[in-house]
């Protein structure tokens, strides 16, 4: 009997979801703090980042996003040697309306990042940073039916001892809904 109830609930949700389903595109620029922890020291550098992607809003409060993160130069050993990182990501997004056009936004997901060591504009070394967990919190302002502006604090962590152990981003971006 429990299986039948579960199937009926899943069928009802799948029929209700397309009634609201909505596609959106987003883009954001970020100020990023990249940290590398090697025993016994921690080094960090400030950089910029960009994030672009698309999402599918299942309900007014839940969506899924597929995006791409590009991180500027960080971790400079000298003026001519710098690291860069980039990769795709996937996140579940929750939105909670607060007052009028304002909403709180939370994201849980992961990025698959790769890093490159560049010396004088030539790639010297590559490192697969692997899958990194993402958590983000922020606010969203609905400018109209199709346009929203978001400000998010995002944190991406990884294993200690790699070229990028922790990444903290403050992002400002826009979302265009269809």
Position 163 scores a pLDDT of 55
Mean pLDDT of each 10-residue bin along the chain, 178 residues long: 64 57 93 70 74 93 94 68 84 95 96 80 71 94 94 82 73 95
What pLDDT is recorded for position 9?
Answer: 63
**CA angle at 161 for the pair 117 and 111, rounded to the nearest 5°:** 70
Q: The pTM is what? A: 0.78
Contact 49, 62 (CB under 8 A): no
CATH fold, domain 20-177, is Porin (2.40.160)
Q: Is residue 10 packed enough to be buried (19+ CB in 10 Å), middle (13-18) or exposed (0-12)?
A: exposed
Q: What token pair was written down for 42?
A: 């921690």
Q: What is the pLDDT of residue 110?
A: 93
Supply the pLDDT for residue 1: 58
Q: What is the pLDDT of residue 25?
A: 97
Query: What pLDDT does residue 143 have?
Result: 96
């Amino acid at each position: 009997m429990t299986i039948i109830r579960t199937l009926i609930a899943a069928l009802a949700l799948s029929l209700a979801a397309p009634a609201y389903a909505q596609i959106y595109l987003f883009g954001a620029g970020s100020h990023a703090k990249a940290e590398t922890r090697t025993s016994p020291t921690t080094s960090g550098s400030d950089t910029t980042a960009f994030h672009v992607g698309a999402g599918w809003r299942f309900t007014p409060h839940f969506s899924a996003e597929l995006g791409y993160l590009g991180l500027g130069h960080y971790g400079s050993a000298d003026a001519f040697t710098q690291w860069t990182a980039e990769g795709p990501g996937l996140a579940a997004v929750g939105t909670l309306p607060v007052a009028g056009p304002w909403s709180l936004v939370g994201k849980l997901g992961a990025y698959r990042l790769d890093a490159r060591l560049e010396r004088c504009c030539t790639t010297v070394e590559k490192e697969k940073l692997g899958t990194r967990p993402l958590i983000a919190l922020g606010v969203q302002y609905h400018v109209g039916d199709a346009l929203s502006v978001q400000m998010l604090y995002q944190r991406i962590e990884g294993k200690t001892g790699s070229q990028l152990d922790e990444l903290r981003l403050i992002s400002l971006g826009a979302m265009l809904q269809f």
